């Protein structure tokens, strides 16, 4: 067996979950749980960036994407129902898998997860994929009730090209832009411009990588109430994830 075969053995990949919360003046509520795939514990593939880079080099990105999605749905079925379940997928997988929507809805249904709870976070790490098949799959997903998010907007291939092609319901503002925004006028200006873009196009922003109270206050002032980051919770295995963990908000000055 190859290393890739070992990775695809049932149970080899692990799934953690990190909350996305809505922050309001009256407190914090759970909006979604994002499923995050990890390789075998203690191995060189434990880090997701190493895992997916290996898959790309082996030409197995689509194969491992699909396995990760199925594993995420199975793990999520053990959790109390969250409003939304967010799962990552590469744009190239959507563009090159003509049965993707059928696979996703079938796997979700097998675990008692309604399509309306699903949110797909589109990521990409290479040149733009074919536009027409990508948009066809996205249209099928939307018709089934699945929400679309564009991950890591402003970094790498998750750029305005992808924004135009994907027409997302959510834009996730990358942690590189968010971290330190309270003291960096350039970062804050980018955040405000993305919030305005989202308002113009109907894409609700989510701030990633929020770790400090000052940054939380800054993104809220910029018009963002959906946040994700260690300030509320690290990513945790399903067995360790408890509702009370992220419903205790930090003090917002």
What is the pLDDT, as a whole number, of residue 249? 44
What is the pLDDT, as a whole number, of residue 251? 46
Would you say residue 251 lies in a domain?
A: no
Would you say residue 78 lies in a domain?
A: yes
Mean pLDDT is lowest, of 28-32, 140-144, 228-232, 237-241, for 237-241
Cβ burial, residue 241 (10 Å; 0-12/13-18/19+): buried
Would you say residue 70 lies in a domain?
A: yes
Any idea which residue has 């308002």 for tokens?
A: 199
What is the pLDDT, as a whole number, of residue 127? 58
What is the pLDDT, as a whole number, of residue 125? 64
Would you say residue 113 lies in a domain?
A: yes
Beta bridge partners, 88, equal 121
pLDDT category of residue 253 using cuts at 50, 70 and 90: very low
Would you say residue 250 lies in a domain?
A: no
Q: Is the pLDDT of residue 245 over 60?
A: no
Average pLDDT over residues 171-176: 94
- The CATH number for 62's domain is 3.20.20.450
Nearest to 239 by CA among 10, 13, 9, 14: 14
Average pLDDT over residues 104-132: 88
Would you say residue 49 lies in a domain?
A: yes
Instruction: Dump pLDDT digits (tens) for 59-107.
Output: 888 888 999 999 999 999 988 777 899 999 999 999 999 999 999 999 9
pLDDT category of residue 238 using cuts at 50, 70 and 90: confident
Q: Is the pLDDT of residue 155 over 80?
A: no
Domain count, the chain: 1
What is the pLDDT, as a whole number, of residue 3? 72
What is the pLDDT, as a whole number, of residue 128? 61
Average pLDDT over residues 164-192: 95
Distance CA 205, CA 187 (A): 15
Mean pLDDT, the chain, integer: 87
Domain that holds residue 12: 3-245
Average pLDDT over residues 138-160: 87
Instruction: Dump pLDDT digits (tens) for 21-68.
Output: 999 888 888 999 999 988 887 777 888 788 888 888 888 888 889 999
End-to-end CA distance of the chain: 56
Entry pTM: 0.90
Would you say residue 186 lies in a domain?
A: yes
Q: Is the pLDDT of residue 222 over 90?
A: yes
Would you say residue 224 lies in a domain?
A: yes
Distance CA 92, CA 103 (A): 16
Average pLDDT over residues 103-124: 94
């Amino acid at each position: 067996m190859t290393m890739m075969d070992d990775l695809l053995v049932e149970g080899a990949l692990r799934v953690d979950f990190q909350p996305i919360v809505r922050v309001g003046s009256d407190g914090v509520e759970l909006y979604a749980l994002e499923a995050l795939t990890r390789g075998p514990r203690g191995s060189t593939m434990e880090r997701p960036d190493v895992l997916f880079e290996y898959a790309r080099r082996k030409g197995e990105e689509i194969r491992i994407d699909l396995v990760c999605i199925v594993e995420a749905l199975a793990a999520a079925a053990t959790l109390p129902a969250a409003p939304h379940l967010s799962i990552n997928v590469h744009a190239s997988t959507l563009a090159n898998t003509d049965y993707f929507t059928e696979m996703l809805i079938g796997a979700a249904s097998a675990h008692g997860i309604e399509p309306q709870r699903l949110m797909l976070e589109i990521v990409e790490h290479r040149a733009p994929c074919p536009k027409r098949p990508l948009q066809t799959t996205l249209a099928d997903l939307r018709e089934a009730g699945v929400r679309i998010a564009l991950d890591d907007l402003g970094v790498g291939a998750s750029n305005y090209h992808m924004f135009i092609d994907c027409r997302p319901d959510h834009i996730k503002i990358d942690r590189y832009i968010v971290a330190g925004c309270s003291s960096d006028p350039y970062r804050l200006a980018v955040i405000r411009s993305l919030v305005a873009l989202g308002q113009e196009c109907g894409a609700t922003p989510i701030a990633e990588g929020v770790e400090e109270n000052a940054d939380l206050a800054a993104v809220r002032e910029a018009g963002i109430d959906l946040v994700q980051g260690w300030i509320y919770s690290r990513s945790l295995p399903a067995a360790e994830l408890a509702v009370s963990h992220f419903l205790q908000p930090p003090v917002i000055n």
